[in-house]
């Protein structure tokens, strides 16, 4: 090989190495999921879409039809909680909690509406304390009522603030106050000791905002997460306070970072012009994070997204649906992500029976049991290590 050929070869090799370097940098910058010092960074615009409900993502699928009788008719759009032995259905229409065993058999109801010390005006949120077999119900006025699993009243306590969501960590209650709170601190998040004496406040705001009621807290084992609808930063709740753990980059669809210092009308004008993303549900365990979020646009139904992230591999899957898609009506967002990597939904039994997607095929015994008045079906998807 002569000198001229050697120079050409070196040039080609250098160009190839340089091209690989550039491509590598571009791939890194455009990666949908990055994990930096335990901080999870999610890039919406870099995430390509693929089929969410598929054999690649989920393995075993189990379905449990909840028993139906006159004492436990579940209304529309219920919420689901569970412990190792029971399902708890929060009926948002009837304002009551139903307890079923894991086979779907109805056991009893919990809670009662009213103005007495053992009652609530409206259920804002519920919390389970499985070790003590206690169900806690949050009333909007900040009163927390405790019942045992059989539905017997134990005690009630009021913290004197309007709250929309809550969780208990050790002996402290964490209360989400939303944006209509009238106390002097004007904060979104408050930690209150069980006796009501010690109070810590987080996330102040300076302007008046309306409240979007969602599930702000989620517990999986010892892990407790917190977020609100108008924020793209998600937190872990620790003894020292909320710690940033997940940041979502929605690009052009992001809410302004300083929106709580802005006038609500200004942000809503941007929303009307451009559209924005709001996170309805965030579930997390040691290996996975699940997001259910929507694109908010005026004059159109908008889009709904399921996004599942493997925090250990950095792989993820996301799929969008139109807001009026039958699958969204059928089962909405996931309610539970377990420590055993199971994603659990509560589904409309009649719509599931009529669904023609083979991935959601139900067995003949359940199919024969479904009537027009049947209670929902609990669907448990075992997540693959994708």
Residue 18 has pLDDT above 60, yes or no: no
Q: Express as a percent the part of the chain with pLDDT over 70.
A: 89
CB count in 10 Å sphere of residue 190: 23
The answer to whether the CB of 189 falls within 8 A of the CB of 226 is yes
Q: With CA atoms as reference, report the closest residue to 237 among 217, 265, 257.
A: 217
Q: Is the pLDDT of residue 157 over 90?
A: yes
d(CA 27, CA 48): 13
pLDDT at 185: 57
**Residue 300 — left, alpha, or beta (φ > 0 → left; ψ -120 to 50 → alpha)?**
beta
What is the Rg, in whole angstroms, of the alpha carbon atoms belonging to the chain? 24
What mean pLDDT, rounded, does the chain reach? Answer: 88
Asked if pLDDT for residue 13 goes beyond 70, the answer is no
8 Å CB contact between 34 and 314 = yes
pLDDT in tens, 169-214: 999 999 998 765 455 557 889 999 999 989 999 988 766 666 677 8
Domains annotated for the chain, with CATH where assigned, are: 32-383 (2.120.10.30)
β-sheet bridge partners, residue 34 = 41
> Given this model, what pLDDT does residue 20 score?
34
Banded model confidence at residue 10, pLDDT cuts 50, 70, 90: very low
Give the phi and the psi of residue 330 in degrees, each rounded to 5.
-70, -40
Angstrom distance (rounded) from CA 196 to CA 186: 18
The pLDDT value recorded for residue 28 is: 39
CB 316 within 8 A of CB 307: yes
Stretch 8-15: mean pLDDT: 39
With CA atoms as reference, report the closest residue to 316 among 27, 60, 23, 56.
56
271-298 in b/e burial notation, b at 16+ Cβ within 10 A?
beeebbbbbbbbbbbeebbbbbbbbbbe
Question: How would residue 347 be classed by pLDDT, with cut points 50, 70 and 90?
Answer: very high
Residue (of 213, 200, 205, 204) closest to 173 by Cα position: 200
Select from 187, 191, 190 the least CA-distant residue to 204.
187
CB burial string 349-383: b at 16+ within 10 A, e below: bbbbbebeeeebebeeebeebbeeebbbbbbbbeb
Gap between the Cα atoms of 47 and 305, Å rounded: 12
What digits encode the pLDDT tens for the residues 285-336? 999 999 999 988 777 778 999 999 999 999 999 999 998 899 999 999 999 9
Model confidence pLDDT, tens digit, residues 56-87:
999 999 999 999 999 999 998 899 999 999 99
This prediction has a pTM of: 0.88
Instruction: Specify the higher pLDDT residue, 122 or 255.
Output: 122
């Amino acid at each position: 090989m002569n000198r001229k050929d050697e120079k050409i070869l070196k040039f080609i090799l250098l160009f190839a190495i340089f091209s690989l370097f550039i491509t590598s940098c571009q791939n890194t910058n455009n990666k949908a999921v990055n994990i930096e010092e335990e901080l999870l960074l999610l890039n919406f615009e870099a995430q390509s879409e693929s089929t969410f409900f598929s054999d690649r993502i989920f393995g075993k699928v189990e379905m449990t039809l909840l028993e139906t009788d006159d004492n436990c008719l579940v209304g529309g759009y219920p919420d689901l909680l569970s412990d190792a032995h029971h399902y708890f259905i929060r009926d948002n229409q009837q304002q009551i909690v139903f307890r079923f065993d894991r086979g779907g058999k109805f056991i009893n109801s919990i809670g009662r509406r009213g103005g007495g010390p053992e009652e609530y005006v409206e259920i804002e949120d519920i919390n389970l304390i499985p070790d003590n077999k206690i169900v806690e119900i949050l009333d909007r006025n900040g009163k927390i009522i405790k019942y045992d699993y059989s539905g017997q009243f134990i005690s009630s306590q009021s913290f004197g603030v309007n709250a929309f969501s809550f969780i208990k960590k050790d002996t402290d209650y964490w209360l989400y106050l939303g944006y209509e709170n009238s106390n002097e601190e004007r904060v979104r998040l408050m930690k209150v000791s069980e006796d009501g004496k010690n109070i810590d406040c987080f996330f102040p705001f300076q302007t008046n905002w309306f409240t979007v009621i969602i599930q702000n807290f989620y517990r999986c084992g010892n892990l407790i997460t917190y977020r609100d609808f108008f924020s793209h930063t998600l937190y872990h709740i620790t003894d020292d306070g909320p710690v940033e753990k997940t940041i979502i980059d929605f690009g052009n669809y992001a809410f302004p970072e300083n929106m709580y210092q802005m006038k609500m009308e200004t942000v809503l004008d941007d929303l009307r012009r451009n559209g924005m993303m709001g996170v309805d549900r965030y579930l997390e365990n040691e290996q996975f994070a699940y997001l259910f979020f929507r694109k908010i646009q005026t004059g159109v139904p908008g889009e709904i997204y399921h996004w599942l992230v493997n925090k250990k591999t950095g792989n993820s899957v996301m799929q969008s649906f139109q807001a009026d898609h039958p699958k969204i009506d059928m089962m909405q967002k996931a309610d539970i992500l377990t420590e055993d990597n199971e994603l659990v939904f509560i589904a409309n039994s009649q719509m599931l029976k009529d669904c023609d997607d083979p991935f959601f095929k139900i067995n003949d015994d359940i199919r024969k049991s479904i009537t027009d008045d049947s209670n929902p079906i609990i669907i448990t998807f075992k997540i693959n290590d994708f």
